[in-house]
Chains A and B, each alone.
Chain A
Amino acid sequence: MPSETVQNENNNWKEYLDAVVREVKFRPDRADIRREYEEHLSDAFDALREDGLSEDDASAAAVSNMGDPVEAGRALNRSHNPMLGWIETILRWILIFVLCSSFPIAYAVIGLGVVNTLGVIRGYSDVEGHGELIRTVVVGRSIDWDGRVLSIDEIRLYEDGALELRYRSRASLLNSGRLGSYDLPVRLSDENGTLRDVSNLSKTSGGLITYHQFLCKAFPPDSKAVQIEYGYAHLYKAHMIRFAVDLTATGKEAAE
């Protein structure tokens, strides 16, 4: 029952980690602390497995060797003083602000940093209800398009024949007159050029970056390629982005 074991291991660990970081009042430091403890648990788990313990026993022993999470958390809280932490954080931002105040690009980068720090960027969400993910075709193609940059990240193929397209859009840093996302139509057609129904699954805005997910519920199985079109075909033909992605090999992309 490997999946159950992993579940159990994660729950054990999650409980311990939650209990440790809960005691740390300075929230910005929680993620690093959690990561350090999690990595320790993982190293301890590996070593205990090498010593011959079962997965369950190793997982439990790794946690119990850690001792009392509340005691550790309170001790951590004493060296992660909220007041000093905030002062340090604010001073750092003021310094960055002063140093960069004459560079617009730096502003944009800092803006992204702020947005990221605030946890606004959430990225893609998992798609459920289409069976298991069979294959991910990494596209990794960025297109500068009318002051926005589109990054076509990947295409995912699911068990029930669904095809998902994931791409990000953001304002080009040098042409940052417009923010917000463009919701231009996306059209997908199969290798024979037949247009397929596509639904806009989700759009997660992360401030400057927007994450788009499109789903074609029934893409012909065993297709060798998918044709992607982006933009209003009838309005701006010259502005259309059109290219094909090879579905047979990961990462292979056919020339337009």
Chain B
Amino acid sequence: MINDKGLLGGSTVLMLLALLTEEDCYGYEIIRRIADRSDDAFQFKEGTLYPVLHKMESDGLVKSYRKETENGKTRTYYRITDRGAKELAAEREKWNEFTNAVNKVVRGGAYAV
């Protein structure tokens, strides 16, 4: 399980934007999807999700709206905005650069042994 706050903190926005590109979600759905896809590797405290979402909304990356779920309950859904989509592309690029650099260092070290 990865509980490191810094790591998760840095990539949370990237993960949320990526999820919301596929489909509009409400908070609880997002938690479930992240847990399912990461095989429960990411287990952050659920209450910390909303501050991130609200910050993203005030930055104009997502937009919230009320909608009924399939079960007839009304929830606050989040939709990615155009600005959010641009941010996602930029964040993805940064992420790739970062993982490539880490891989190079790690592999380089392995060859050196």
B58 interface residue per 8 A CB criterion? yes
- B45 near A66 with CB under 8 A, answer yes
Minimum Cβ distance to chain A for residue B97 (Å): 28
What A residues does B21 contact at CB under 8 A?
A: none
What A residues does B52 contact at CB under 8 A?
A: 75
- B50 near A33 with CB under 8 A, answer yes
**Most chain A beta carbons < 10 A, residue from B27, B46, B48, B55:** B46
- B47 near A37 with CB under 8 A, answer yes
B75 interface residue per 8 A CB criterion? yes
A20 interface residue per 8 A CB criterion? yes
Partner of A66, one of B26, B46, B73: B46
- A67 near B46 with CB under 8 A, answer yes
A36 interface residue per 8 A CB criterion? yes
Q: For the complex, give the distance between the alpha carbons of A47 and B32 in Å.
A: 10
What B residues does A40 contact at CB under 8 A?
A: 27-28, 46, 50
- B28 near A67 with CB under 8 A, answer no
Size of the chain B interface, CB-CB below 8 angstroms:
19
Minimum Cβ distance to chain B for residue A66 (Å): 4
Query: Chain A interface residue count: which class?
Result: 20 to 34
Partner of B48, one of A35, A71, A79: A71
A76 interface residue per 8 A CB criterion? yes
Query: In residues 3-58 of chain B, which contact A (Cβ within 8 Å)?
Result: 26-28, 32, 44-48, 50-52, 54-55, 57-58
Minimum Cβ distance to chain B for residue A92 (Å): 15
Q: For the complex, give the distance between the alpha carbons of A65 and B27 in Å.
A: 14
- B54 near A76 with CB under 8 A, answer yes
What B residues does A15 contact at CB under 8 A?
A: none
Q: For the complex, give the distance between the alpha carbons of A76 and B67 in Å.
A: 22
Partner of A76, one of B27, B45, B51: B51
- B28 near A66 with CB under 8 A, answer no
**Most chain B beta carbons < 10 A, residue from A33, A36, A37, A69:** A36
Minimum Cβ distance to chain B for residue A241 (Å): 37
Q: Residues of B with Cβ closer than 8 Å to A?
A: 26-28, 32, 44-48, 50-52, 54-55, 57-58, 73, 75-76
Q: Residues of A with Cβ closer than 8 Å to B?
A: 20, 32-33, 35-37, 39-40, 43-44, 47, 65-69, 71-72, 75-76, 78-81
- 24 A-B contacts (beta carbon < 8 Å): A32-B76, A33-B50, A36-B27, A36-B50, A39-B73, A39-B75, A40-B27, A40-B28, A40-B46, A44-B46, A47-B32, A65-B46, A67-B45, A71-B48, A72-B45, A72-B48, A72-B50, A75-B48, A75-B51, A75-B52, A76-B54, A78-B51, A79-B51, A81-B58
Given contacts A72-B47, A79-B55, 10 further A-B contacts (CB under 8 A): A36-B76, A37-B50, A40-B28, A40-B50, A47-B32, A65-B45, A71-B48, A75-B51, A78-B55, A79-B51
